[in-house]
Amino acid sequence: MLSHVTAIGNNTEEFGLFVQYCSNGTIEHCEATGHTDTGIYVGQSSNVVISKNEAHDNVNGIEIENCTNVSAEKNHSYHNVVGIMSVLLPGLVEKYSTNITISKNVVEDNNHDNFAKPGELEDAVPSGTGIFIVGTNNTVVLDNRITGNKFVGVAVVSTLILGSLLNPPLPPEAFADIEPNPDGVEVIGNHLENNGYNPPQGLPLPGVDLLWDGSGSNNCWSRNHYTTSFPSSLPACQ
């Protein structure tokens, strides 16, 4: 367990709280700020709860990478490049990411300039992103308050999209060891306001409250309070 820990990177350290190859743990009541990768990172782990933490002024506020059965709940993530990211990446020991729950968080004003180290994958994440679901399966985004993110409130995309944003872009064969498309994602009951108002230039997708790149299967959206979406009509949850 990590409880009541404060991690301050002063823009020189990649990670604040770093949890990898762990199971049955909790990160609670912590604060992480000033990290060039992620403030609170959980990677290749299972059965972890990330609860009631504060992450701000990082590249990624909270990142859940190639994990199973992880929940992020009641956190406050703000002034990062990306508020909360659930992602499946290639080239790691764990080849799957599934059963992720992101619920009852406040994710606001994540418009920090991207200060990741050049060449790192984090250098590709677009500023102004609230909750970023990238290639993970059976992910539930539930009852969050997501406001003031200039690119997108909640995005559900293939990992291939993230690879395409690198300079130079990663070719599709770089993702051959994973299935990069998000399947079974449910975005339900979230309050989204004032997102997508000023997206970064050159992105292949528009700025909106709710965004889906059309990849994957059995993804659905229901009972969300929002103004804009792409596409304009999203599949409803049954």
Residue 45 lies in a domain: yes
Q: Is the dihedral of CA 82, 88, 93, 94 positive or negative?
A: positive
The pLDDT assigned to 12 comes to 63
The pLDDT assigned to 205 comes to 93
Residue 237 lies in a domain: no
Mapped onto helix, strand or coil, the DSSP state of residue 74 is coil
Asked if omega into 182 is within 30° of 0 (cis), the reply is no
Structure tokens at 35: 């990290």
Task: Indicate whether this model's pTM tops 0.75.
Answer: yes
Instruction: List pLDDT tens digits, range 46-98.
Output: 999 999 999 999 999 999 999 999 999 999 999 999 999 999 999 999 999 99
Give 123's DSSP letter. G
Residue 220 lies in a domain: yes
Distance from chain centroid for Cα 100: 11
Residue 138 lies in a domain: yes
Q: How many domains does the chain have?
A: 1
Q: Report percent pLDDT > 90 for the chain.
A: 87
Residue 238 lies in a domain: no
pLDDT at 10 over 70: no
Query: Which residue matches tokens 């990898």?
Result: 20
Please give the residue range of the domain that contains residue 209. Answer: 2-230
Gap between the Cα atoms of 213 and 102, Å rounded: 20
More confident residue, 10 or 119: 119
Among candidate residues 70, 65, 61, 66, the one with its CA nearest the CA of residue 23: 70
List the helix and strand counts (H, then E) for the chain.
1, 21
Instruction: List pLDDT tens digits, range 125-180.
Output: 999 999 999 999 999 999 999 999 999 999 999 999 999 988 888 888 999 999 99
More confident residue, 188 or 165: 188
**pLDDT level of residue 211 (50, 70, 90 thresholds):** very high
Residue 98 lies in a domain: yes
Query: Which residue matches tokens 């933490």?
Result: 53
CATH code for the domain in which residue 133 is found: 2.160.20.10
